[in-house]
A and B are shown apart, each in its own frame.
Chain A
Amino acid sequence: MDFSIHKGEIFGLVGPNGSGKTTVTNAITGFYPPNKGSICLDGKDITGTAPHKVAKLGVARTFQNLALFNGMSVLENILLGRHIHMKPGVLPTALYWWVARPSEIRNREVVEEVIEFLQLESIRNELVDGIPIGLKKRVELARALVAEPHLLILDEPMAGMNQEEKGYMARFILDARAERGISVLLIEHHMDVITGICDRMLALNYGEMIASGIPKEVVKDPRVVEAYIGGAHG
């Protein structure tokens, strides 16, 4: 498979269960290095780079089954997303008022901005373990956004959400792109979401690209219909 995501684009990735969508994101983010082929970010080859380094290069992600710090509060979770911009040095900490303060204020501003943007103000001090799944998904998105990534990978951000929550999430994604110029790779089963917010999309089946292009056209492609409906028409 071969595809690229342009700057500032929302790119949809669809396919039946087991078609390799999550594997693609895991390959990009370094969780599973690919057996062959290469992955480039901002023109630099990042194939096989360790996941924490990929994160530092500006790729933030959310997980299909959530990967939050369950023992921590909403705010602590979001702050950890900002950690790649925080230097743990002893000296700057000791000289906090002179050296570390300006960057610290900037970090805090970004975090507060995202909390406001995603409307998490009222639950900021709650333990993540105890909040409903729709909010958990939002906290995960917040944690990804505060890293100020160039590329944001969302693995089924709307799984398990009702229509209203889906609408919210779609709006958040569109706004995130508009306000921050982030490129987004969006994995989703809800076709209405894909056609609604994605600029381009790619459909996978059994690890192969079966169609790509403008969402409205791709979803009409007979191969895509067949992959999804399972060849019910014979």
Chain B
Amino acid sequence: MELVFLAELAANGALTGLLYSLFAIGLVLIYKASSVPNLAQGGLTMVGAYIVLALARDIGLPLWVAIPLAAVVMFGFGMGIERVALRRLAGRPIVMILMMTLGIDIFLRGTTLAIWGGTSRSVELGVGYDPLFIGDVLISRIHLVGAAVALLLFVVFVLFFRSRLGIRLRAIADDYMASWSVGISVERGVGLSWGLASIVAVAAGVIWGEIQGVDQSLSLLLLKGLTVAVLGGLDSIFGAVLAGLILGILENVGSTYLDPFVGGGSRDLIVAAVLILTVMLRPHGLFGRQDIERV
């Protein structure tokens, strides 16, 4: 096989992978603060996209107003979910908390179906679909934009975790008892992490909504997002970015070579294999804290 073709597969795989990272950053934020794998992150991403559509298409606001506004709305929405549904479960078995987030995901899917129906709609970001060649390699423009957004958010969060507020969140991620004893409100910090994850969900929702259309299937991004988050270590944002790159390249290159043998569908097999092998061989992922199981 030609080298250029391989480079093209790898480059576009890497870009797609960064889009998984974009999604996974939301999962990591909540997991870091509260050790809860948020199964509703897919639902939040979908709702984020729908709210942008509602503001831009139904009300007619320009996108540069609609997207920040949706981020504000979703920030409040995420904090609200934590306050109303999650906080009362503090100290309960983790499986109950997981079921709650799953329930919220199903609820969000049902609600968007009831309000906006199931027809896929486009965000129309206006990125354009003209072929873009870098050297001889054909790159998808929207994926490139999305990957840039993912990297931008990564940098923003790295800086954020150095700010005073970010350090408080890190403290909460480290130890609840110690946080309380130095005067940090753990509850408020966990709420904030839900708010921030919901803002990330808007970004992921807009980009993925542009790529595959906005409908309930957006919430299924959770499966790949979870795989990336677990591979990265669940509580490491850098891990999520790197794991996204790895998974994206692996699935794009791997499936192209494997598909002829298994008759298609090897993409999902690769993702599943990565998830299963990570859990079996390296449960704390690439960059997760080793003592995660101890919690």
Instruction: List the interface of chain A (C-beta within 8 A of B).
Output: 29-31, 50-53, 55-56, 60-61, 63, 67-72, 76, 80-81, 83-84, 86, 88, 93, 143-144, 147
- A88→B165 contact, CB < 8 A: yes
Which residues 129-173 in B have Cβ within 8 Å of A in the complex?
163-165, 167-168, 170-171, 173
Q: How many residues of B contact A (CB 8 A)?
A: 22
Closest CB-CB distance, B289 to chain A, in whole Å? Answer: 7
CA–CA, A51 and B175, complex, Å: 14
The residues of B that contact A56 with a CB separation of less than 8 Å are: 183
Complex CA gap A71/B290 in Å reads 11
**B181 neighbours in A (Cβ, 8 Å):** 29, 51, 55, 60-61, 63, 67, 144
Q: A88 to B183, Cβ gap below 8 A?
A: no
Which A residues touch B182, using CB under 8 A?
55, 60, 80-81, 83-84, 143, 147
Are A93's CB and B177's CB within 8 A? no
Residues of B within 8 A of A (CB): 163-165, 167-168, 170-171, 173-175, 177-186, 289, 291
Distance of B213 from chain A, by nearest CB (Å): 37
Q: Total A-B residue pairs with C-beta atoms closer than 8 Å?
A: 73
Chain A residues, CB < 8 A from B164: 83, 86, 88, 93
Measured CB to CB, the nearest residue on chain A to B166 is A88
A53 vs B177: C-alpha distance when bound (angstroms) = 13
CB pairs A–B below 8 angstroms (29 shown)? A50-B185, A51-B180, A52-B179, A52-B183, A55-B183, A61-B181, A63-B177, A67-B177, A67-B181, A68-B175, A68-B178, A69-B171, A69-B174, A71-B174, A71-B289, A72-B170, A72-B174, A80-B178, A80-B182, A80-B184, A83-B168, A83-B183, A84-B183, A88-B163, A88-B164, A93-B164, A143-B182, A144-B181, A147-B183
User: Within the assembled complex, what's the spacing in Å between the Cα atoms of A61 and B186?
Assistant: 17
